[in-house]
Amino acid sequence: MQIGIRAHDVAYAPLHELIPNIHKQGFTCMHIALAKSIKEFNVDIATMTPGLAMYIKNLCAENHVDIAVLGNYLNLAHPDPVKLSEITEKYVAHLRFASILGCSVVGTETGAVNAEYKYEPANHEKAALDLFINNLKPVVKAAEQFGQIIAIEPVWKHIVYGPEQARYVLDEIGSPNLQIIFDPVNMLYPGNVDKQDEIIEKTFELLANDIAVVHMKDFEIEGDELKSIPAGMGSLNYELLLRRIKEHKPFVQCTLENTKPENAVRTREFVQNLYDRITL
């Protein structure tokens, strides 16, 4: 594996300090959402110039940190057509930026049928899935034009909520520029945590060829809510996940989520040490 971290989970620093700090903590890649990680200026389409992309690219090269994911987690099923048009424009801008930046994928989740981007039963209906596919098509076309990969991340509360729905989207769109970010915790909720092994196995069965990046966090149940916590501190079957990764995805980029500056290195060491102990 190549283990990375979300840039906004690292202690804030300007870019010229942030990226070296990521390297110093032993990470080889990162997931960066520009607006969450950059505070020294506002990030919008106007500021996403080739110059900024080259500045970040050179900083990464100097510090041996790859960009696993350029995040743009906006609602591609937004019910307001004006807002949806703005969202699509931002995806195109991120893909253009990525073509200069040299990142692995532009990442997105899969939206909700409401403006609030929250769970409702309608998110899991076939009509929502078809709506998402229709709205994703121009984004995938832009990915093809820029020679980039757009990667969707299934989340139980959203429209693409499991491996079967993800497979359907990939097959319906039929583009090699569309792949998957696999976060097993995001496919869970309190009602299916007892099936986590089955979900992990089904994901590799249906999507192994299309998993571009893996997100790594853990979970615990608090009342009727599933809470995300750092890897190794909860109930996810990490031995099974890492075994399948070792079997199917050598050198895949895996980025930690929900860490804090004080536990990020310890979390990285937990994942790496367990991975190293697994034999196939």
236-267 tens-digit pLDDT: 999 999 999 999 999 999 999 999 999 999 99
What pLDDT does residue 46 have?
97
pLDDT band at 113 (very low <50, low <70, confident <90, very high): very high
What pLDDT does residue 234 have?
97
Structure tokens of 262?
A: 């004080």
Task: Please state, rounded to an integer, the average pLDDT across all residues of the chain.
Answer: 98
Average pLDDT over residues 181-189: 98
Angle of helix 163-173 relative to helix 126-146, nearest 10 degrees, comes to: 50
Fold classification of 2-277 (topology level): TIM Barrel (3.20.20)
What pLDDT does residue 228 have?
98
Structure tokens of 3?
A: 């283990």
pLDDT band at 112 (very low <50, low <70, confident <90, very high): very high
What pLDDT does residue 125 have?
98
**Residues 219, 226 contacting (CB under 8 angstroms):** yes
Phi and psi at residue 210, to the nearest 5°: -115, 0
Tell me the pLDDT tens digit for each residue of 45-96.
999 999 999 999 999 999 999 999 999 999 999 999 999 999 999 999 999 9
Cα 92 to Cα 41, 133, 138, 150, 159, distances in angstroms: 21, 16, 9, 10, 21
What pLDDT does residue 238 have?
98
Residues 6+ apart with CB under 8 A from 17: none
Residues 6+ apart with CB under 8 A from 277: none
What pLDDT does residue 20 have?
98
N-term to C-term CA, the chain: 15
pLDDT band at 198 (very low <50, low <70, confident <90, very high): very high
What pLDDT does residue 145 have?
98
Q: How far apart are CA 254 and CA 238, in angstroms?
A: 13
Average pLDDT over residues 8-23: 97
Tell me the pLDDT tens digit for each residue of 135-163.
999 999 999 999 999 999 999 999 999 99
Tell me the pLDDT tens digit for each residue of 204-221.
999 999 999 999 999 999
**Residues 142, 95 contacting (CB under 8 angstroms):** yes
User: What residue ranges do the domains of the chain occupy?
Assistant: 2-277
Q: What is the 3-state secondary structure (H, E, C) of the chain?
A: CEEEEEHHHCCCCCHHHHHHHHHHCCCCEEEECHHHHCCCCCCCHHHCCHHHHHHHHHHHHHHCCEEEEEECCCCCCCCCHHHHHHHHHHHHHHHHHHHHHCCCEEEECCCCCCCCCCCCHHHHCHHHHHHHHHHHHHHHHHHHHHCCCEEECCCCCCCCCCHHHHHHHHHHHCCCCEEEEECHHHHCCCCCHHHHHHHHHHHHHHHHHHEEEEEECEEEEECCEEEEECCCCCCCCHHHHHHHHHHHCCCCEEEECCCCCCCHHHHHHHHHHHHHHCCC
Q: Which amino acid is at 266?
A: R
What pLDDT does residue 52 have?
98
What pLDDT does residue 241 have?
98
pLDDT band at 3 (very low <50, low <70, confident <90, very high): very high
pLDDT band at 273 (very low <50, low <70, confident <90, very high): very high
